[in-house]
Amino acid sequence: MTITARGLSIVRGGINVISDVRFSVSSGAFLVVLGRNGAGKSSLLHALSGELQPASGEIAFDGVNIRQWSPVTLAMRRSFLAQQTDCRLPFLAGEIVHLGAEAAGQRGVGARRLVASALEEAGVEHLAERAMWQLSGGEQQRIHWARILAQVNGKPQGHCLFLDEPISSLDIAHQHELLQKAANLARRGATIIAVLHDLNLASRYADQLMLLHETRLLALGPPSEVLTSARLREVFGITTHVMPHPIDGTPLILVGPTTFGTEIRTDSAQTALQTLC
């Protein structure tokens, strides 16, 4: 699915978070949106998924303005995984995944089969009969990931997955597992748009990075182009050293030894710390 945005501006709580952003993402792309807290990353995702009404501008899926898509059709072509989901009613994990299958238009036996395969893909079949409130935060998030996979309905081509900081509650192994699975879906034709905080994860899995800074789209391109020390200093105010991964060359971002300010020789480190504190 191709997603295009033109002249996009988003206002939240009276404040302009994004001004005049334009870009295009096509099938098979894995786009990660980076930026500081409050830079508008989540808002961008919510606007692109059709939930948030932008102040101005136009968003189109496959050339058709999303305002013209009905919510039911939208649900069959795109899914959204939030950072955290609260559920106070005693649903079973399998029932939650079933919601994704229903959104994809499946019912009855077809839905149950889809739920089973989604649970397997997400590696959580063993949790299907447990109540959601009994699961840990990370397990719950993986169940929601299974729900998203069910919504994809085995047809990644023409589907877009929006992932809003999807891995913050997962352990390192499951973080990689989820992102790897998303990358696989992208290779099969899905469009992935994700917000991540971990620069190295973004560098590893994304084929395109978008850097948002002070309401503007600062950079859009492959990780090797976007992730430079100068850029990272400009956006995040931290000192980094970017070097290629020893085995496959993808950019590795190392922070420090002093995170903020310029490099200082060790004997004046004490004085520097005293002045800073």
The residue ranges that bind other proteins (CB under 8 A) are 46, 49, 51, 71-76, 78-80, 82, 85-92, 95-96, 99-100, 102-103, 133, 151
Q: Mapping DSSP to helix (H, G, I), strand (E, B) and coil, where does residue 52 land? A: coil
In sign, the C-alpha dihedral spanning 40, 42, 48, 54 is negative
Number of H helices, E strands in the chain: 10, 12
User: Which of 96, 232 has the CB closer to other proteins?
Assistant: 96
Our CA angle for 66, 69, 71, nearest 5°, is 110
Q: How far is the CB of 221 from other proteins (least distance, A)?
A: 29
Our CA angle for 121, 137, 190, nearest 5°, is 35
- Give the separation between CA 176 and CA 100, rounded to whole angstroms: 23
Q: How far is the CB of 166 from other proteins (least distance, A)?
A: 13
Q: How far is the CB of 177 from other proteins (least distance, A)?
A: 22
Is residue 183 within 8 Å of 212, Cβ to Cβ?
no
Q: How far is the CB of 153 from other proteins (least distance, A)?
A: 13
User: Which of 69, 236 has the CB closer to other proteins?
Assistant: 69
Largest Cα separation within the chain, whole Å, is 71
Q: Mapping DSSP to helix (H, G, I), strand (E, B) and coil, where does residue 152 land? A: helix
Report whether the peptide linkage leading into residue 166 is cis, meaning its omega lies within 30 degrees of zero.
Answer: no
User: Which of 99, 252 has the CB closer to other proteins?
Assistant: 99
User: Which of 152, 235 has the CB closer to other proteins?
Assistant: 152
- Give the separation between CA 65 and CA 261, rounded to whole angstroms: 45
Nearest to 81 by CA among 208, 178, 13, 190: 178
- Give the separation between CA 208 and CA 228, rounded to whole angstroms: 14
User: Which of 84, 271 has the CB closer to other proteins?
Assistant: 84
